[in-house]
Structure 1
């Protein structure tokens, strides 16, 4: 692989990695080289390589396993993945807007309507995420469980239905966000602030905490690319 030098680094790295998968005849189940090795070959930082790997993970090309590297789970056509990547950049902005509209309201409602059982579910999700992060993981499963628990605690069937409709799109934004350096720890802290406000029944504080959290989620490498 040759070093990357032109603009739009993010897309170029994805393109180079796809080229590598095809030219090296990498099969499903094979592992890609370590991030450090890929970064050296491409002449870029490990952080840039990590973001490109996230793009491939979201598109179902690889599965990034903590402590086990990137394992290829599909070898699609390059054109298909690059088109999906460009579409995802535009879609991600809309997903963030939808989350701001829905989840801020859900947090406020949860503070007003939650039951002891709802609070227990929220605490369980926080415990799961804390465990994942402590083990060096992203905390994605706990993150997803937390937002589902807050949604359930709002006791709004219509809003819950809307969240279900965009659940897969939210998963993309979740992976994109939690791959940022330090983001899992920041997200866990933000979740705890939301949970504390819900626990005390402070709807305004819960909404404010959730809004701040969603704003942080929107700060991703993909959206910073121009």
Structure 2
């Protein structure tokens, strides 16, 4: 009986995901090569060949490092080291980020769905122009091979402004840094920028038509889409 009780208290250990292992290897490379702030990491293609994994997995590891502020990734320049951290520190920060992701998703679902509904009821022609400009910015970024972070940020700010709710706007400002984490992570997923842009356009169409229910539904669908990130998935 005691043995059975002990077994029931044991929990199955979760294996580190592949991209987490790659993060550790990349950081070990940084340490071995004594890279410092401003130094470039090898290109994704080169890292994939050297590590024997797919470019998609390497990209996910780099996105995680970018979310944690270790590197800065710009289209056309690649990954640049911001600072050289201890591996244990980065892994702890990754766990902390992972644990708060569901709460960030929950907050966005609560706030932004309501904001979209209010925007559909209260938007002005000036608001529609602001949202359109944000869509144009993101479209241009994505067409140029970028992830569209700036256009994405402008779009959601424009929706918030169109809702004309000072309290909800303050709440969005309060969680803006946390939303930035999810923005970088989501738009770093393969094919996600194009999908997110299409999702933005559906939200805009509902707001333009003053369809409050449609705008809310489109925003909820969008939040569900952008919240589908590797950190919330466990490998068996």
TM-score (norm: length of structure 1): 0.95
Question: Which runs of 5 or more structure 1 residues have no equivalent in the other structure?
Answer: 1-5
SS at match of 1:76: coil
Q: Match of 2:234?
A: 225
Match of 2:124?
115
Structure 2 regions of 5+ residues with no counterpart? 1-14
Deviates more, 1:87-96 or 1:101-110: 87-96
The runs of at least 4 consecutive aligned structure 1 residues that moved more than 2 Å come to: none
Question: Equivalent of 1:88, from 93, 97, 100?
Answer: 97
- The answer to whether the aligner puts 1:150 opposite 2:154 as a matched pair is no
Deviations, residues 13-49 of structure 1 (Å, cap 9, x unaligned) = 1111111111110111111111111112222111111
Which segment is superposed worse, 152-161 or 70-79? 70-79
Alignment-derived partner of residue 127 in structure 1: 136
Does the CA contact (< 8 Å) of 1:129 and 1:188 recur in 2?
Answer: yes
Partner of 2:20: 11
Q: What corresponds to 1:66 in structure 2? A: 75
Tell me the secondary structure at the aligned position of residue 66 of structure 2: helix
Structure 1 CA distance for aligned equivalents of residues 93 and 184 of structure 2: 16
Q: Which protein has the larger Cα radius of gyration, Structure 1 or Structure 2?
A: 2
Measured on the aligned residues, the alpha-carbon RMSD in Å equals 1.1
Summarize deviations over 1:39-82 as a string: whole Å, max 9, x none: 12222111111011011111111111111111112112222211
Query: 1:7, CA displacement in angstroms?
Result: 4.2
Whole-angstrom distance in 2 between the partners of 1:152 and 1:27 = 41
Task: Name the TM-score, length of structure 2 as normaliser.
Answer: 0.91
Aligned pair count reads 221
